[in-house]
C-alpha cells in the first residue's frame, strides 16, 4: 500500500500515485464570467428603474425645460375685430329693407318669403317678380343684391337667413336697401334657430385666441 493511501482504505480506493486525487471538479471559468456579467446587468436594471420612478414623480427634466421655455413665450393678440367693433359695423335686421323678388316659375314664393322675413325683424319693401335681367336666370337658392357698401354690412346680415345665397353688388346708392331674388334652387329660408345662431356669430364673433411667440 502506498504511503498516500489513507488508513483503512484499500481495494479500489487504493492510491498508488504520489498525489491525492481531486475529490471535486473545479469551477468553470466560463460560469464565473457569466455570473459576474449577470450581476452587473441586474444592478444596472435596478438603477435604471429607480431613475424612471424618480422621473415620473418629479416631472422630469423635460417638463422643467418646457416650463422654462413657455415662460419666455409672449402672447400676441389676434388682428380680428372685437365683438363690439363687429356689432357697430353690421346693421340690425330692423335697419335693413328687403325687396323680395321671385325669379322662378313657381307662384307665391315672394309673398311667403317676405312674410317670414318680416317675422324675423327685417323691413319689407317691394314684393313681386324679378326683372327680366334675372328672371329664370338664378340657378341657386337665391341672389342677394345691394350697394357696394352693403357687401360687408346689410348683405351678410340678410345672408344668414338663406344658406347658399350668392352676394352681388350693383350700382344702387342705398346701402340699407337690398334685394333677395329667389332662384330655382330655393326651398325655404334657413330654419329660424339656425338663422339666429348664424346672425349672432356674425354680429358678435368670438375673438380669435392669442398666438404665442417664442
Which domains does the chain carry?
93-203 (3.30.70)
Q: What is the pLDDT of residue 87?
A: 47
Contacts of 11 (CB under 8 A, 6+ apart): none
Q: What is the pLDDT of residue 45?
A: 59
Residue 27 binned pLDDT confidence (cut-offs 50, 70, 90): low
Identify the top-confidence range among 6-10, 19-23, 156-160.
Answer: 156-160
Q: How many CB atoms lie within 10 A of CB 98?
A: 26
Tens of pLDDT, residues 153-198: 999 999 999 999 999 999 998 999 999 999 999 999 999 999 999 9
pTM given for the model = 0.58
Q: List the strands of the sheet with 97-102, edge to edge.
A: 123-129, 97-102, 177-182, 142-147, 166-170
Q: How far is CA 89 from CA 85, 143, 149, in A?
A: 6, 22, 11
Q: What is the pLDDT of residue 203?
A: 85
Tens of pLDDT, residues 111-132: 999 999 999 999 999 999 999 9
Tens of pLDDT, residues 70-110: 445 554 443 344 444 444 579 999 999 999 999 999 999 99
Residues 125, 144: Cα–Cα separation, whole Å:
14
Q: How many CB atoms lie within 10 A of CB 186?
A: 22
Residue 68 has pLDDT above 80, yes or no: no
Amino acid at each position: 500500500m502506498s504511503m498516500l493511501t489513507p488508513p483503512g482504505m484499500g481495494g479500489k480506493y487504493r492510491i498508488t500515485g504520489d498525489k491525492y486525487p481531486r475529490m471535486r471538479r473545479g469551477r468553470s471559468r466560463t460560469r464565473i464570467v457569466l455570473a459576474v456579467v449577470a450581476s452587473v446587468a441586474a444592478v444596472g436594471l435596478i438603477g435604471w428603474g429607480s431613475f424612471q420612478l424618480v422621473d415620473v414623480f418629479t416631472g422630469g427634466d423635460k417638463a422643467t425645460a418646457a416650463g422654462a421655455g413657455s415662460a419666455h413665450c409672449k402672447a400676441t393678440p389676434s388682428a380680428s375685430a372685437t365683438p363690439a367693433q363687429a356689432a357697430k359695423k353690421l346693421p340690425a335686421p330692423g335697419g335693413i329693407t328687403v325687396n323680395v323678388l321671385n325669379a322662378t316659375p313657381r307662384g307665391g314664393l315672394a309673398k311667403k318669403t317676405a312674410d317670414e322675413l318680416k317675422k324675423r325683424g327685417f323691413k319689407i319693401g317691394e314684393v313681386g317678380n324679378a326683372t327680366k335681367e334675372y328672371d329664370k336666370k338664378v340657378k341657386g337658392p337665391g341672389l342677394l343684391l345691394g350697394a357696394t357698401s352693403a357687401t360687408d354690412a346689410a348683405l351678410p346680415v340678410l345672408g344668414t337667413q338663406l344658406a347658399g345665397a350668392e352676394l352681388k353688388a350693383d350700382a344702387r346708392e342705398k346701402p340699407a336697401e337690398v334685394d333677395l331674388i329667389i332662384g330655382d334652387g330655393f326651398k325655404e329660408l334657413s330654419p329660424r334657430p339656425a338663422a339666429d345662431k348664424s346672425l349672432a356669430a356674425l354680429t358678435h364673433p368670438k375673438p380669435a385666441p392669442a398666438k404665442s411667440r417664442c
